[in-house]
Amino acid sequence: MQENWRNFLRAQQALIENGQVVHFGDPVSELAHTQAGTILVDLSHYGLLGLSGADAGVFLQNQLSCDVREVSADQAKYGSYCTPKGRVLANFIIMDIDGEWLLQLPMDLCASIQKRLSMFVLRSKVDIHDRSGQYVRMGIAGAQANKLVASIAGTRLDLDNGSALKIIHSEHAHVICHAPDRFELIVSEKDAQELWCLFNGNARPAGAACWRWREIHEGVPVITTATQEQFLPQMINLDIIGGVSFKKGCYPGQEIVARTQFLGKLKRRMCLAKIATGEPVNDGDDVFSTEMQDQSCGTIVNAVPSVEGGYDVLAVIQQNSINAGSLFWRKPGGPELIIGTLPYILD
């Protein structure tokens, strides 16, 4: 997070810890407003890796699970970077901003993913840099989000769910359309404060957890340090939201990912659930079932406090255990997971 931007947010009453905004003074009220109103969120908890050079596109095509050829200046995509065993090291949004490939992923994964990608550049004409400090990113979501973003985009935003990750460019911002009522603005530091103040009158500033609450309810996972190398891309539903191509060429783990897809051996899927507990729920926590007794049947991918109390989570769980019911957090007979409904259909 840039120093001037950090100082600006603190002047707006932001509590900042470990490079991300925790809240603006009232986390409970901010979370409630996330469901009923319009929120404005700093997204500095996500970092940006930039790749450039004559061979950058081909290099990424050979490393990532998504089809990079489908990315353009007007369309971003979800994707993942896997081990040779097909396990996800990181998932991200990949985009083309000002002629440079950008991967947006959790800030604390940027250094390790940059280092690993650099190992495979070899003689290719590819440069990899951390661009996290080059832009300010802010999110706006809720009932008034479309109208507010349209006012600075200079165009109507006639969007539906089929427009996910469409990019609209304006004089002052690159706008990523995550959903019809959720947008991300990528802006220069010099424009960031003016835009924040412009939106602030009609959207409530909120902490990073409020943005994650929206992502969780849209079924968008985020791999963190606690869950690296635990899941195939399909387990976290990346194939459903467009983060996996089964028609492109090879990439690390491609053989295992494809074999799982075409032989129908996927036994675990990510689902939305609620856990009624006052204790903290963390990424990587185990899920148990009556059916499997003391053996874990699943893993928490992401968790945030719920508007209604307790926690809302994305969890990868064995499909047989989901069908059998009676799922528990952290230990057999612990707080129960109540399965919710994702906005897309699981196969």
**Residue 21 corresponds to which tokens in the numbers above?**
């905004």
Q: How far apart are CA 222 and CA 234, in angstroms?
A: 13
Are 76 and 164 in contact by the 8 Å Cβ rule? The answer is: no
Are 344 and 237 in contact by the 8 Å Cβ rule? The answer is: yes
The bridge status of strand 182-187 relative to strand 174-179 is antiparallel
Q: How far apart are CA 67 and CA 77, in angstroms?
A: 9
3-state secondary structure of 191: helix
Q: How far apart are CA 339 and CA 80, in angstroms?
A: 26
Question: CA dist 41 to 81, 204, 224, 303, Å?
Answer: 27, 8, 20, 18
326: phi > 0 → left, psi -120 to 50 → alpha, else beta; which? left
Cα 66–Cα 71–Cα 72 angle in degrees, nearest 5: 175
Residue 184 is assigned to a ligand binding site = yes
Burial of 121 (0-12, 13-18, 19+ CB in 10 A): middle
Which residues participate in the annotated binding site for substrate?
A: 184
Which residues participate in the annotated binding site?
A: 184
